[in-house]
Structures are given as structure tokens and as C-alpha cells.
Amino acid sequence: MCFNPSYCWILCCTLEPIFKHPEHKQPPPKTITQLYSSYIYNILKNHPRATESPREIMGRAGEMAYEGICNRTIVFDDDHFSHHHLEPSTFISGFMMEILEKDDGGRRVVYTFPHLTVQEFVAALARYLSPVRRDLHKLLHQVHKESDGRFEIFLRFVVGLSWPHTARQLEEILGPLHNASVCEAISWLKMNIEAAIKQSGSEGGKRKLLNMMYYLFESQNNTLAQVTLGAVGTLDFSGFTLNPLDCAVLSHVLQLCDNIETLNLYHCNIGAEGIQRLVPALHKYRELRFVLIDGFSQKPGEYQPVSEVCGSSGNILTYRQSVSLGENSQHNLAINDPQY
């Protein structure tokens, strides 16, 4: 996404005040939900638009945004606004753009969000603002069954907003998020993590478990991670390709779980960058019985062997190799060696 100009603009708008005013000691966002929360907050805070109820209007705009995701709509006209009891206003123009569009009758003004992810975030935020009590758990269950991926980021935003720290800034302007919706989002995530753990033996199950780890990372709910994955003794992603971002998410989750004894990453095609992402977790879990990491590229300069020692655990022979991952950084990794 960093190749997308709109996303880069959102990123810069959010990070600029953090870097320009270090004296405020505002921590940078850790998750994509925190990034977009800060983005919307900065719009509402620094470019105020006169409105009687920003919460109500944001909720209606979110309902329209959600309907757009369901129907694959990214351009909204007067009919969409009328259906959701919205009117074009300076408040709406803060997070939607006006576009002059040609039609048979001449020209008309339509509206769109600066980026699809903004639409998805506003749609997720509306789940916590609606004055009408709705079953969020049921809605999440329904959209999660869709296999085309259009609700993937929406789901991450919904679970991300369940963490109080993430929504704190927005609550200054929009008021508190519904606690019942927060509880339902956490309950849905817990249920799906537990289901993914049971199904993690197949390739599809491993993919589902990794997706749940992304949701867990987005939620920043350490307690939930410990309650669900903390009881797992073995994590097996063998044969499942993991990119550096996957490794970063996996590392975050592993650092929260104290009971995992076996981590199998055999034939995961983990490169040097992926290993670096995993290092904080591997450093913590020195008591792991074995760690199998195989299939990563061994290009010259990616890592430098320092020492080697073979060890065994039961009927498993592990080839341990100390590797250097950057300046003044050495970590022991267990790498499966085909010759044994």
C-alpha cells in the first residue's frame, strides 16, 4: 500500500504532528486502526466543522460507507445521502471528497472517500456509534464468511477499535463507544481464535490462524492473546509461506504467550528480514524444545554463521546455528539440516 499516493498522504498527515512536535511525546501508531483513528481525529480536531451532532453524522456516514462495502460502491450521490438522512456539508467534506461527474443531464457532484481504507474505517467506527442496539457478533460472523476479501480490512478495524486506547482520542469528540459492541467484538474474536487453533492442522487452517493473529495484533488485547493462544503448547506453520509482515505479527503474539514449547517453521521460506522480525520472540523463548526454521534464502551477506552445534530432543535432531543479524546482534536459531 505504500506505493499508493492516497495511502502515503494519509500516513504523512497522521505522522507529521508526531514528528514535528516531539515535545508532546505522542507515541506513533502501532496498528493500522490506530493510524486511521489518529487521521480522523486530526481532521475533526484541527479542522472543526460546525455541526450539532458529529457523532450522529459520523454514524450515518458510516452506515453509508458500510452499505458501499457490501455493494462494492465507492462513489456516492445525492440518492445515497438522502437514503441515510445525510446532506452535503462542510463536516462531511472533512473526510469525503467532492467530484464533478458528467452524466446525460450535464454535470453533477458526487462524493467519495480519499481511499477505500478510509471508507472501511468509517464503516467500522459506525458499529460503535449507532444509537440502535444491534447484534455486532452476528454481523461479524456473517461478513467473515464472505470469501472475496472485501470485508478483511473492515474486520480488522472493528476488532482494532475494541481496544480502549485506540479509540480514546475519537471519544473526545464523538463520545464513548458502546461498551456492548466492544464486548461483542472481543467475544467474536475469542471464539474464532479458538476455532482456528483447532483447525490449524491443514493449510487452510494455518491461514485462518494467521489471519486471526492479525486480528489479535490489531486489537492489541494482550489478555485475550494469553487466554487463547497462551494455552497452546505447539504452533505449527510448517510448509506455509510466511512473509516479513507475517513474521512480525507472529513475533508479537509469541511474546505474549509463555506456554508455547514448540514452534515449527519448517519450509516457511522465511528470509533474513523475516528472521529479524522473529528475533524478539525467539530471544524470549530460550526454553523452547526446538525451533525449526528452514527454506529461507541463503544469499551471501544475508547472515553470517558464527558457531555450530548439534543437539537432539527425543527423536528429533536439531541443527543449531548461531547467526549474526546485524551489528552487535547474535541469536541462536535452530535450523533443520536435511543431511541429518
- The pLDDT, as a whole number, for residue 340 is 31
Contact in structure between 237 and 265 (CB atoms under 8 Å): yes
Cell reading at 50: 460546525
Comparing CA positions, the residue from 167, 190, 175 lying closest to residue 121 is 167
Written in H, E and C, the secondary structure of the chain is CCCCHHHHHHHHHHHHHHHHCHHHCCCCCCCHHHHHHHHHHHHHHHCCCCCCCHHHHHHHHHHHHHHHHHHCCCEECHHHHHHCCCCCCCCHHHCCEEEEEEECCEEEEEEECCCHHHHHHHHHHHCCCCCCCCCHHHHHHHHHCCCCCCCHHHHHHHHHCCCHHHHHHHHHHHCCCCHHHHHHHHHHHHHHHHHHHHCCCCHHHHHHHHHHHHHHHHHCCHHHHHHHHHHCCEEECCCCCCCHHHHHHHHHHHCCCCCCCEEEECCCCCCHHHHHHHHHHHHHCCCCCEEEECCCCCCCCCCEEEEEEEEEECCEEEEEEEEECCCCCEEEEEECCCCC
Euclidean distance between the first and the last CA atom of the chain, given in angstroms as a whole number: 42
Q: Distance between CA 144 and CA 208 in Å, rounded? A: 11
| Whole-number pLDDT of residue 297 | 40
d(CA 218, CA 328): 31
pLDDT of residue 200: 86
Rounded to whole angstroms, the Cα distance separating 79 from 88 reads 12
d(CA 17, CA 278): 31
- Cell readout for 177 is 463507544
Residues 323, 270 contacting (CB under 8 angstroms): no
Q: Which of 322, 254, 315 is nearest to 288 (CA)?
A: 254
Going residue by residue through the chain, which has 340 residues, state the pLDDT in tens, using 9 for 90 and above. Answer: 556 787 788 888 888 878 887 777 778 888 999 999 999 998 888 766 666 688 999 999 999 999 999 999 999 999 999 999 998 877 888 888 888 887 766 788 899 999 999 999 999 999 999 877 778 999 999 999 998 989 999 999 999 999 999 989 899 999 999 999 999 999 999 999 999 999 888 888 999 999 999 999 999 999 999 899 887 888 888 888 999 999 999 999 888 887 777 788 888 888 788 888 888 887 655 444 344 454 444 443 343 332 232 333 433 333 344 444 444 334 444 444 333 3
Question: CB within 8 A of 134, min separation 6: which ones?
Answer: 127, 181
CB 81, CB 209: distance < 8 Å: no
pLDDT computed for residue 307 by the predictor: 29
Question: What pTM value is reported for the model?
Answer: 0.82
